[in-house]
Amino acid sequence: MIERITGHTVLTGLLGSPVAHSISPMMHNEAFRLLNLDYAYLAFDVGTDNLKTAVDGFKVLGVRGFNCTMPDKNLICEYVDKLSPAATLIGAVNTVVNDNGVLTGHNTDGVGYMLAVKDAGYDIIGKKMTLLGAGGAATAICAQAALDGVSEIDVYSIKDQFFDRAMQMVDNITKTTGCKAALYELPDDTSLRKSISESYILTNGTSVGMSPNVDSSIINDSTMFHENLIVSDVIYNPQKTKLLKLAEAAGLNTFNGMYMLLYQGAEAFKIWTDQEMPTDLIKEKFFTTK
């Protein structure tokens, strides 16, 4: 057993706001302990205003790597030296690795989500998805789902700073993959209702409904659902968002963002350490299915 903390301890962490609710520190620190790695993971509440300062500080301090969560996933692209192919396509970063002062941004969210779908027992390959949101997590899901073989994705978003980038992404997906992707502006209940009626899965890829704003949901009308629909949410705090509660009350199968967090974290862990996270043990200790 290594001593905690030593003079050789390697620092990793999380940047975002808010982050106090995150279970990433517990997950990664337990994985470090299980593998006897002299690493530590801390959470830092840093929004976009101070992001560059924080990244510059991490670089100077020799921090091995860090995760980025909302609202930092898009802006962080401007402050790293290189982007992985996935991060370039998505236009967002959730994992950064520091190789001797060179920062490379990766995006493991999409892989994490698709593994979470499989873990929940569903096969969405060849089927249609309705996706809410066009920010960092949503675009990662959209890109990976298309690459993995989801046949059609309708993306719904407010017309914010991410909208034009999302339009470029869905056009690129349609041109370069076998998936038909389209972007629609919220609110458009008529179009959204039609899309959901044709979809196998509805996914909330936004922060709407996340603690402390637990009474919020993009969809508030359960008649938007159909009886065979699966409803998922990238949020894991609370474990049951208003959207998921509404879907469960309608008798639908649901799952939250817990396992997406697990699997995207496992991919980040491997990038930093070159070792596999013991996901079965981490799941057993920290994660639930609902």
Catalytic residues: 73
Separation CA 190–CA 208 (nearest Å): 20
Those residues whose C-beta lies under 8 Å from the C-beta of residue 171, and which sit 6 or more positions away, are 181
Query: At residue 172, what are phi and psi to the nearest 5 degrees?
Result: -65, -40
CA nearest neighbour of 144 among 101, 92, 77, 80 = 92
* Residue 9 DSSP one-character state: P
How far, in Å, are 32, 275, 277 from residue 36 at the CA level?
Answer: 6, 11, 12
Separation CA 167–CA 184 (nearest Å): 9
Separation CA 256–CA 271 (nearest Å): 25
CB hemisphere CA count around 41 (13 angstroms): 25
Contact 11, 21 (CB under 8 A): no
* The residue count for the chain: 290
Classify strands 253-255 and 230-233 as parallel, antiparallel or unpaired.
Answer: parallel
Contact 205, 137 (CB under 8 A): yes
Contact 174, 103 (CB under 8 A): no
Radius of gyration of the chain (CA): 19
